[in-house]
Amino acid sequence: MKQQTFTDFEYNQRKKKTRREEFLDAMDAMIPWSAWIAMILPFYPSGKRGRPVKGIETMLRMYLMQIWFNLSDIAIEDAIYDSYAMRSFMRIDFNQEQVPDSTTLLKFRHLLEQHHIGERIFADVKTRLEEKGLIMHGGTIVDATIISTPSSTKNKEGKRDPEMHQTKKGNQWYHGMKIHAGVDAGSGYVHTITATAANIHDIQETSKLIRDDDNVVYGDSGYTGIEKRPEIAGDSQKSQIEYIINRRPSSMKTKVPYNGINWEKEIEHRKSATRCKVEHPFLIVKKYFGYVKVAYRGLAKNFNRFNMLFACGNLLMVHRAGRAAELTMG
């Protein structure tokens, strides 16, 4: 049992927990640490040569806090020294060891990217949700969001990332990448994501977001005509799915309301009431975790981070729904 320090004793006398501490405590309780560590272990350095390596759990906890609070390698190192809540989450004792430096974290992140650990962790969370009956099959909501790149070109080539492209949305131009998500229509948890350049149309990735047992697919007006796509029409299973797509506002004719109700708008409103569940995971990733700008060059590095963020986002939604005990039990 760890002996309490004077700092621990003083901190425990507080009357209120901060929101950061509550969030870290909730995620600490929900994350299956042993399973995630086992995914990384086969690829982690043994430490037989060179300086002693840091523990996998220590590095994983540091990396997770980095993406949750959207901090750079140097900033998360400084934040852990400053914040007692972060040090407690990392379970680090300055009498025993120091916080891993930014270079160590950089190498750990590259290891996760190289071996696609983010995709494995996302799949693990999805499997656990399905086993506990928290993901209901039968329907999928599809949508996409643009993640812009920084405007800076301070690099060797003096150019923006060649894997990112520009696209126009409304009257605004964006340069970056696009995340396509398939969300379970019953629960609102993300079950599939893909990443492309921003100029790839939403409809082109739809077939990858549909599950084999889906009976209905919801989408906004950007998915109009999805059932005519060759990868959909030529598939015996996907061609039988009912596609409920919102109509474009310009396609709706203004009619005299019947008994005070405009039925065209009412039908579209009902579609949107179901489809809005897809916006919640995007809200968590972009606003709660603060990932509104691309952090790295290349789609692969960013896709690894998005897999981690959506996996943690699913866990956070389970916690907010008050169903954390169902996921952690057993």
DSSP H helical segments within the chain, as ranges?
6-11, 19-30, 33-40, 56-68, 73-82, 84-90, 102-114, 117-131, 206-209, 230-233, 263-275, 279-283, 299-320, 324-328
What's the pLDDT score for residue 2? Answer: 59
**Residue 202 confidence (pLDDT):** 92
- Residue written as tokens 């425990």? 12
Q: What is the per-residue pLDDT across 189-205, written as a single tens digit (0 to 9) for each?
A: 999 999 999 999 999 99
pLDDT band at 11 (very low <50, low <70, confident <90, very high): low
Q: What is the pLDDT of residue 114?
A: 96
- Percent of the chain at pLDDT above 90? 59
CA distance 16 to 85: 13
Instruction: Report the predicted TM-score, pTM, of the whole model to 2 decimal places.
Output: 0.90
Residue 155: its pLDDT value, please?
67
Question: Distance (Å, rounded) from C-alpha 268 to C-alpha 274?
Answer: 10
Higher-confidence residue of 159 and 115: namely: 115
Question: Which pLDDT tens digit goes with each residue over 51-104?
Answer: 678 889 999 999 999 999 999 999 999 999 998 899 989 988 877 788 999 999
Q: What is the pLDDT of residue 322?
A: 87
Band of pLDDT at residue 257, cut at 50, 70 and 90:
low
- Whether residue 120 is predicted with pLDDT greater than 60 in this model: the reply is yes
For residue 217, the surrounding DSSP H or E stretch is strand 216-219
- Diameter of the chain by CA atoms? 80
Geometric angle at alpha carbon 89, from 61 and 131, rounded to 5°:
65
Q: What is the DSSP string of 157-192?
A: S-S--TT-EEEEETTEEEEEEEEEEEEETTT--EEE
Cβ atoms of 94 and 280 closer than 8 Å: no
Summarize pLDDT for 157-193 with one digit per residue, the tens: 777 888 899 998 888 899 899 999 999 999 999 999 9
Average pLDDT, the chain: 88
CA–CA dist 196, 164 (Å, integer): 8
Q: Which residue shows structure tokens 């989450």?
A: 89
The mean pLDDT value for 28-48 works out to 91
How confident is the model over 264-322, as pLDDT tens digits? 788 888 888 889 999 999 999 999 999 999 989 889 999 999 999 999 999 999 999 88
pLDDT at 48 over 80: no
Residue predicted with more confidence, 3 or 132: 132
Q: Are 160 and 252 in contact (CB under 8 A)?
A: no
Long-range contacts of 110-114 (CB under 8 A, 24+ apart): 111/40, 111/43, 111/44, 112/40, 112/63, 112/304, 112/308, 113/300, 113/301, 113/304, 114/43
Q: Give the whole-number percent of the chain exceeding pLDDT 70.
A: 90
If one compares 130 and 3, the residue with the highest pLDDT of the two is 130
- pLDDT band at residue 1 using 50, 70 and 90 as cut-offs: very low
